[in-house]
Chain A
């Protein structure tokens, strides 16, 4: 590849400027705040992070709950991953799509669902709010879809003939699994586990709602230090420490991903699917799917039920109550809906603009510019949303004071959404101008017709998928929003959080109703993505 031309470099300026201003610069300001709070080098904030027993116990809790959540997720997810990887049955695609839903839900919807299930007055009759059990349950619920999709898709590629070969060579079923299938799955298992660990390690909304006062992750502690104690230097030191730790985990994850690519001869997976036969087979498949589906879809049903529950039976009272002012918010909760939609629209425009220009540059330039941008684009994903929100909070006073701008939230949301938009747009951007155009040309299409009939539809679809992704991400974003939302203009997750935080004042019902609204909006966006998406699984 030659050096990038002037047009490409101009295009690259858009994502570079955006990421530079709103991501790299805030991280630099966080570093400055942590290392030199008074303008000169001063290790006090770090010393505090290391020595404070409260923070030490937060770090310990963050780690062990993430490990426990990861193990629980694998234990519940693997049987279902196996069934989807090996069996053909009616409704397979639909069921798999449904079981993916929890993963794409906003954290606050998940938190609400588990409050409805195991919170005070919950359907199960046990109040687990404030316990580790509630946190772990919600984390497993949230992440099992990653195992079903990630490990399941990989497992489907493992030719069952290798397991059969082991059987005919004298291995019992258990031994064949242990000596052949399991070793082949290890890379997928390890990378999926790393991903789940990462997500649960940086869990914020779920812990804030379900963890009560006793349980805090580093993310929650950053928020508390900022909002409650106004210790920005300590929060910055915590943020930086976590960033370093996440970088190490991600590097490990990347290496596993690279290894995972070499091992297997790829085969079309569906060829290996078999229909369950016999009572034992049918029972096992139905049992595994039933338990998993109940666990993944049950809480959502319970959420909807709780939203419709009134003191006198079922009705729409909780939804009607959204128009009334409460002590939890300065505005009627219903305004959060229009706020969220407006912010999401602005964030989507920003994210698509930045994401698509970035995708074009990454697709076109195989040199340092494209590769560097590709890496830079993934960083907001690696840094937590809390870090993004915190970073913007402490840095947007200069050079232009954006702290009161209505654009600040859309900017934060766009930062979180851009990596998704790039991933969605990249395949189409790579296809444009390449082999497809040549194929169209030899089939007799003029360049204009080739663009109109082949490339434009591809680009339009990628754009639509990116748009829906950005919209869904913005709607549900909570980590960054918690730092930046103004009290007079709450988003849906913020309003839900405030309503949930006022137990005993009759706001739980409206909180559930608002969660259902957010659930419906998100599922609509995700359904649009699923219908539009060209390729298969991303994970």
Chain B
């Protein structure tokens, strides 16, 4: 189990990490998701040992490794731009960690072959890394990271610079590879889709802090605050006001729902919006086909827009009545608190 305990890193006046904590049990995958500048990459550098924290601890299996230099940690880090060694061939890159571990030449050749097969590049040993496509570079970097069988695999935006189709394919391939070798993984990304696809658990990072932790489903259905809700892609986040017993968005009276007393916003998941009948009405502004279902954007007379996830699509510009499933809405505070779900 990896434990990151209240790690702080400052660069001059700027604070990259501000008491960040994280736990990854053996064999599990945690996706750290946050906007750029939230300290995600610094977190990986601290865990890898490339960056000394100003405060806090990193533990592995209960042992404090904060002062252990990177080459003695046995953690693998895959870099954002891959950082392949330009003066070495594909095999030379994949073999590097094995050479450092002092394996025999035959052992290394065998392991390199296995790893290249694992990432779907069999026979690429002698190629020059400069001739590889972006996707091939990504696979070589993954093979290089995994070759020495690291105790922990750290990945920094590993799909960041790839085109859509390739990214989608690797989003299927990579978790399978991790499953096959039973890797413990910390996966850093700014992309919700990637985080949901790879992470058993998601940690949301904001301004150097861990502001939310939970499974993808838990975060989607119970976001801890308005910022996190918006960041993971919930668009229907509306401010609320209370008048006596009544809680309202101005155009909809929120029924009695669970929520904290300091709630300032209501989050309505798109699947909680049901079109056809109901006390509310709006004009269809646009609709996006998502393959089997639609994301419909309704414009209300008061000027607000609300998004609905529905199986059929009404005509653009038509006026539709709708209703909101009160059991699926959540009341949340505005600013992140250090709560967990």
Residue numbers of A with Cβ under 8 A of B are: 159, 161-162, 164-173, 175-176, 179-180, 183-184, 262-265, 275, 277-278
Contact = CB atoms under 8 A, between A and B. Distances in A.
A176 B52 CA distance: 18
A161 B79 contact: yes
Contacts of A176: 71
A170 B48 CA distance: 11
B120 to A, nearest CB: 21
B71 A168 contact: yes
Nearest to B80: A161
A167 B70 contact: yes
Nearest to B95: A169
Contact of A169 (B11, B45, B69, B148): B148
6 contacts: A164-B77, A167-B49, A168-B49, A170-B72, A170-B148, A265-B86
A169 B96 contact: yes
A275 B16 CA distance: 14
Nearest to B147: A169
B87 A165 contact: no
A164 B83 CA distance: 9
B81 A165 contact: no
Which of A162, A175, A263 gathers the greatest number of chain B CB atoms within 10 Å?
A162
A183 B81 contact: no
B12 A165 contact: no
Contacts of B52: 277-278
B144 interface: yes
Interface in B81-106: 81, 83-87, 96-97, 100-101
Contacts, number: 79
Given A263-B86, A265-B86, A275-B12, A166 B96 contact: yes
Contacts of A264: 86
A263 B88 CA distance: 11
B76 interface: yes
Contact of A167 (B12, B50, B86): B50
B187 interface: no
Nearest to A180: B85
Given A170-B101, A171-B100, A164 B86 contact: no
A476 B80 CA distance: 49
Nearest to A169: B97
Contact of A164 (B70, B84, B145): B70
Contacts of A175: 71, 100
A162 B11 contact: no
A172 B148 CA distance: 15
Contact of B77 (A168, A171, A263): A168
Given A165-B77, A169-B148, A275-B11, A159 B83 contact: yes
B75 interface: yes
Contacts of B145: 169
Interface string B144-160: 11001000000000000
A331 B77 CA distance: 72
Nearest to A175: B100
A263 B87 contact: yes
A184 B71 contact: no
Given A161-B79, A161-B83, A264-B86, A169 B50 contact: no
Given A168-B50, A168-B70, 10 more contacts: A159-B81, A161-B79, A162-B84, A164-B45, A165-B85, A168-B73, A168-B75, A173-B69, A262-B130, A275-B11
A328 B77 CA distance: 70
B83 A172 contact: no
Contacts of A172: 69, 71
A266 B335 CA distance: 41
Nearest to A264: B86
A262 B50 CA distance: 29
Contacts of A275: 11-12
Contacts of B83: 159, 161-162, 164-165
Sorted nearest first, the 3 A-B pairs with minimum C-beta distance are: A170-B100, A169-B97, A161-B83
A505 B96 CA distance: 67
A292 to B, nearest CB: 24
Given A166-B96, A264-B86, A278-B52, A171 B71 contact: yes
Contacts of B101: 170
Contact of B86 (A170, A184, A277): A184
Interface string B35-65: 0000000000100111010000000000000
Contacts of A173: 69
Contacts of B87: 180, 183-184, 263
B253 to A, nearest CB: 52
Contacts of B77: 164-165, 168
Which of A167, A169, A265 gathers the greatest number of chain B CB atoms within 10 Å?
A169
Nearest to A278: B52
